Amino acid sequence: MLQLPKLFTSKLSIRISLKVVSLVAALLAVALITMLLYSRKTVKQEAIMTAEQTLEGTIEHIDGILLSVEQSAGNIYFNMYRHLDNPEKLYDYSRRLVESNPYVSGCAIALEPYFYKDRELFMAYYHRSKIGSKIVRSETFANKPYTQQVWYTEPMKRGKPCWMDPLEDLDANSEAITTFCLPIYNTEGKRIGIMGVDVTINMLSRIVLSAKPSKNSYSVMLGSDGSFIIHPDSTKRLSEKVYEQFEHGSDLSLKEAVDAMMSGQKGYKRAKIDGRECYVFYHPFTRNVATGRYLDDMGWSVGMVYPEEDIFGDYNRLLTQVLLIAIIGILLLTLLCRFIIHRRLLPLIFLTKSAHRIASGHYDESIPDSHQNDEIGQLQNHFQQMQLALAKHVEALENMNIELQERGERLRVAYHQAQAADRLKTSFLHNMTNQMLSPVQIMSERVTDLYQMQTMKSQDFDRMADDIQKQGEVITDLLNHLLELSKEATGKEERHA
């Protein structure tokens, strides 16, 4: 753990490579982050545009069908209006309307009770059968009288054309439908019945469910009461309301999107659905203006659930690939920089080893000429010149040292000789001193005797004088001999010097 950082700090080529790669990586990171953020923004904007166009196209498609049904119903309505007194004609018009428009699954012309005196209830009803799509005539619709069904009672109250939410009071064998209702008035302006033109929800479902920009996205259509008119899960159609999902443990972040959707807003929200992050796009069911068309607010809305994975899945995979390529590229760049810089620094490595050997005492270390013209080549050449000068200087120092050693050896010999001579001289002086001591004592005694004696015979005086003279000659000879020895020693020293 401690050797790796030390390796990084001890190798110049690694440090330079890391600095170069760090700078390149920083610039690359800034460029990649900028590009990826812009790309993500672009992907999101494209997804939003696609979702909005899909919703608008779906609404346009469905509204085109509804408009076609409205116009067909209007045409039949005005032709039928003159034949209200003929029940058979009403059956004919009902059948004709179903035949003339492929989007119409059934047409019911229901009049108020006892409109015909001999009939309590009258409803001319033709519809397409489930088998073979044949147009068949029926006397009843669903499992209760039409006067108790919402498609009849509600328009009779309103007194104006309207589209009804898909009916919930049908029997189990009936196909879910939405009905366009036209109130029928008599000449006095009194409402006397309803013309109901049915469109199957399955047909609308195929349109809505096919509107999906990605594999996992799906679209829904909500009624004015929040019920699912269209949903990929057929069990939820008409039987479940969108707010019931909150009771089933769905993420509450979806509530804000549903509230906006039910209030007729257009836009999108980010929410979590079934544990997945999604974008919920919503658009009110707006109807196009057409001549003679009554534009009531149906309260419908179309929504699209667009999983975030579908929007950013390719982007995230591309991001992973780009990051992987960037990491591999940085590693390869590091190795390449390390190789190139190491190659360029080989002279420095060689000079480092040479300097270490020179510092260890190998002053004759050979440094070749450099073939590089850059600073490193100049450094190697200058280092070579320095090594050659140092080798010459060391050689001169070694020669001087040898000479000094020889001189020192001669001085040591001379010193030992001087010591021996000094010892000899000391011994000689000691002997000479001892030899001169006796004559001097004799002379001193004779002089003392001469000084003390008042009368002395001539013979004794001559004898003492001769004795003093002899001792003086002995001392003179010793001094002359000492002087000669001193001269010889001085001559030898002068010759050695």
Name the band, by pLDDT with cuts 50, 70 and 90, for residue 451: low
Residue-wise pLDDT tens digits, 4-18 = 455 555 566 677 777
Predicted confidence (pLDDT) at residue 450 exceeds the cutoff of 50? yes
Pick 349 or 153 by higher pLDDT: 153
Give the distance between the most distant pair of CA atoms in the chain: 223
- Residue range 265-282: average pLDDT? 87
Beta carbons within 10 angstroms of residue 1's beta carbon: 4
Contacts of 183 (CB under 8 A, 6+ apart): 155, 156, 158, 159, 160, 161, 191, 193, 194
Predicted confidence (pLDDT) at residue 195 exceeds the cutoff of 90? yes
Predicted confidence (pLDDT) at residue 3 exceeds the cutoff of 70? no
Name the band, by pLDDT with cuts 50, 70 and 90, for residue 184: very high
- Residue range 196-200: average pLDDT? 92
Residue 481 tokens read as 């001999």
Least reliable range by pLDDT among 88-102, 191-205, 254-268, 343-357: 343-357
Residue 320 tokens read as 């992973």
pLDDT of residue 172: 42
- Where are the alpha helices (H) located in 159-243, listed in sequence order? 201-209
Looking at the chain, how many residues does it have?
Answer: 497
- Host H or E run for residue 396: helix 375-452
- Host H or E run for residue 342: helix 308-344
DSSP state of 267: E
Name the band, by pLDDT with cuts 50, 70 and 90, for residue 107: very high
Least reliable range by pLDDT among 166-180, 181-195, 209-223, 296-310: 166-180
Pick 65 or 166 by higher pLDDT: 65
Pick 55 or 444 by higher pLDDT: 55
Question: Given the structure tokens 């001591």, which residue do they identify?
Answer: 437
Pick 111 or 245 by higher pLDDT: 111
- List Cα–Cα distances, 393 to 90, 354, 388, 398, 399, in angstroms: 132, 18, 9, 8, 10
For residues 466 and 458, is the Cβ–Cβ distance under 8 A? no
Predicted confidence (pLDDT) at residue 255 exceeds the cutoff of 90? no
What's the whole-model pTM score? 0.65
Phi, psi of 195 (to 5 degrees): -100, 115
